[in-house]
Every structure is written in C-alpha cells, then in structure tokens.
Structure 1
Amino acid sequence: MPPVHPSVTRRPLHRRALDVQVFARDDGLFDVEASLTDTKSHDVPLAGVVRKAGDPIHEMRLQLTVDAGLSIVSVASQTLWMPYVGACGEHGDAYQRLVGLNLLKGFRQAVAERLGGTHGCTHLTELCQVLPTAVIQALAGSIIDTREGDAAAPTAPFQLDRCHALRRDGATVAQFYPRWHLATPESATTAS
C-alpha cells in the first residue's frame, strides 16, 4: 500500500497481523483457525520487563468448528504472548459462550454482549469480529451458493445487499445479477 504522505519520512512503530484460515473436515464440519499478533519495532518496557523489538506483545488464537449452516459447535482459545503474564490468559472458558452462535445471524452483537469489556479478552473479542466475512469468503461458491442460479431459483444469491458494491439497486447487480436488480426511479429515468 502506498504511504499516505510519501514525501514524509516514516518509521514503523507497531504491527497488528490477523490471520484466518478455514479447513474442510472429513466429517462435514469446518475448522476456523484465527490469530492476532501485535509486535513493536522497538524494545518496550512492559509489566516490569523489556519486550524486545519483534517479539510479540500479543499473540492470541481462536479455533472454532462450524457446521455447514455456520453455527459454532466448538471453540478453543489460546494466549501465547501477553503483556501481563498470569493474568491476560486467565479468561478461562469464556469463549465457550460462542458455542451455539451463528456467524450469519447477529454474531457480532452477541459477541459484544457475551464477551465485551471484562467478560473476555479485548484482543480475542476483536478477533471475533472478522470471522463472519472470512468464513463466508472461504465457503462462497462451494457451501454458500453465490451463483446467479437458474430461472426457477426462488431466492437471490447470498451476497446481494451485503455490501455497497452488491446492493440490489446498483450497477454491479444490474450487470452480473440482472434478474435480481431493483430499478430505482433514478436508474429508470437514466435508462429511458
């Protein structure tokens, strides 16, 4: 990505890396492995010790197992690097509260209600926020039908009206999913 102000000298301070991988299992379920890692480019005094440049400040992992309908059937969490050893990783089985939630149905709000604030780890809870779209992307076109479909298909493709580019009154849907395009008064006037 080009720098915002390329004429200004910059130096790196902090990096947050998110990684989400999705695996199909032989039993028809899917494993979702997500991690969050924070590093600094310089040594940092932290909780009475110096954390060396490049060593993680945070390294946390979540593993979920979901079914084909994207309901969570199991969860495990792990804190490998943390600022406050002996405290940060002591959230117990808090992330078991995700079991039973569906990534497509009110997931982000339910995470905030169940794990926000002192109910969980800020970083693991933030990591949860990227899971719905990452898992949808992993399953799109195979488990989640994203095709135009045949004329007899009663429902619109999954992805329509889920982002600005794929809004049903927009040009992208008019071009690639014309059967599902909703003309607006402006587009009808332009077409005339």
Structure 2
Amino acid sequence: MPPVQPTVTRRPLHRRALDVQVFAREDGLFDVEASLIDTKSHDVPLAGETRRAGTPIHEMHLHLTVDATLTITAAASDTRWMPYVGACGEHGDAYARMIGLNLMKGFRQAVQERLGGTRGCTHLTELCQVLPTAVIQAMAGSVIDTREGDADGNPPFQLDRCHALRRDGETVAKFYPRWHQAPETATNVS
C-alpha cells in the first residue's frame, strides 16, 4: 500500500522524537537510556515567556538498569527542558518506583498505577510505554531466546502478539514449525 500523499500544502507544527538505546554492561546488566523531545516549528508563548522555534518544549530522559530477566534494578529520570521551570521536574525520585518491575510482566499497568496522573510526569510516564518492546528488541536473539521458548516449555514470547506471528498463521508454520497450530475449523451455522 502506498503512503498517504497530501493533496494540499501543509506546514509543520510539532515534532515529538522518541529515542531508546540499550547498552550491555560488563557486569552482565543492561542500561536503557530513553528520551522524549518535543519541538515546535514556530515561536510559542509558554509560561510567560516565548519559546523559540526549534527549542525544545520538553526534553526528558529515563535511565534504567535491567538484568537478564528484564527486571529493573535501578531507575531515574532527568528533565532538561520543560514548560514550567521549577515545577515540571520537581517529582523527585518518582521514577525510582519502577525498581523491581519486570518489562515483560505487567509493566505498563504497574507504571500507570505507580506513576500515572499526578504521581509522575505525563510525558515520562508515556515514554515508559515504549520501553518493553524496545528493550525486548535489543535483547531478542541474544539474551532472550526467540526460537525455542523458555525452560518451562512455553513458546517464544513473541508468538501470538501480532497478526504476523499468530500461531495458526503461515509465518509461524514456516519459521517456527514446532509451535505452529492448525487453524480452528469454522462451522457455518444456518
């Protein structure tokens, strides 16, 4: 399918850039550095001042350390640009509340419970939502076995998590035959 082509002239208004980088440490742990940066293409009034075009409205960073099971062992945040200086970055060590959470087991819901609403920063909490898949992608095939499943006999974690990797589909039949399941037989009811 071709990309949607605009039929009218347009001008950029806003850009949000998300970046997640994962690093292997020599002690066997992994560092995760994530950032969210919002910029405008035009000057905007903001908290009694003018924020110039291209200058960040938000620049926020999360720093995590995780172990090989994807459990968070350290967490911190850093807000460098914000709309309300002296207020936005004053959530203390709120993001340290992620310590002990596992990126593969209920992470997104637990982050909402611990940091949603006024318990944290909207933008940093939203940034947390992309962390599980980004970190899993970094570790897939090296730290996480994506071929044979786990020691308990469960299939690889990625199966049945998207339409391409549904266990009754052609992709799984071809690349993961051990885990393929026959499609359910549809019955017509008159």
Q: How does 1:88-107 map to 2 (within 5 A)?
A: 88-107=88-107
How many angstroms apart in 2 are the aligned matches of 1:147 and 1:182? 16
Structure 2, unpaired ranges of 5+: none
- Partner of residue 125, structure 1: 125
Task: Give the TM-score of the pair, scaled to structure 1.
Answer: 0.91
How many angstroms apart in 2 are the aligned matches of 1:49 and 1:113? 34
Q: CA RMSD in A?
A: 1.8
Q: Aligned pairs, how many?
A: 184
**SS of the residue aligned with 1:108?**
helix
% identical equivalent positions? 80
- Partner of residue 165, structure 1: 164
Q: How does 1:37-186 map to 2 (within 5 A)?
A: 37-148=37-148, 154-186=153-185
How many angstroms apart in 2 are the aligned matches of 1:92 and 1:158? 35
Which residue identity lines up with residue 185 of structure 1 in the other structure?
Answer: E
Structure 1, unpaired ranges of 5+: 188-192
How many angstroms apart in 2 are the aligned matches of 1:87 and 1:114? 19
How many angstroms apart in 1 are the aligned matches of 2:35 and 2:60? 6
| 1:44-92, Cα deviation, whole Å (9 max, x unpaired) | 0000000000000000000000000000000110000000000000000
Counterparts in 2 of 1:40 and 1:165: CA distance versus 1, 3 Å:
same
Which residue identity lines up with residue 154 of structure 1 in the other structure?
Answer: G
Counterparts in 2 of 1:127 and 1:153: CA distance versus 1, 3 Å:
closer
- Partner of residue 190, structure 1: none
How many angstroms apart in 1 are the aligned matches of 2:136 and 2:157? 10
How many angstroms apart in 1 are the aligned matches of 2:110 and 2:8? 42
Deviation of 1:159 after TM superposition, in Å, equals 1.5
Deviation of 1:40 after TM superposition, in Å, equals 0.1
Deviation of 1:3 after TM superposition, in Å, equals 6.3
Counterparts in 2 of 1:52 and 1:3: CA distance versus 1, 3 Å:
farther
- Partner of residue 32, structure 2: 32
Which residue identity lines up with residue 98 of structure 1 in the other structure?
Answer: M
How many angstroms apart in 1 are the aligned matches of 2:96 and 2:107? 14
| 1:135-191, Cα deviation, whole Å (9 max, x unpaired) | 000000000001258xx993322321122211111121111111211112349xxxx
Task: Give the TM-score of the pair, scaled to structure 2.
Answer: 0.92
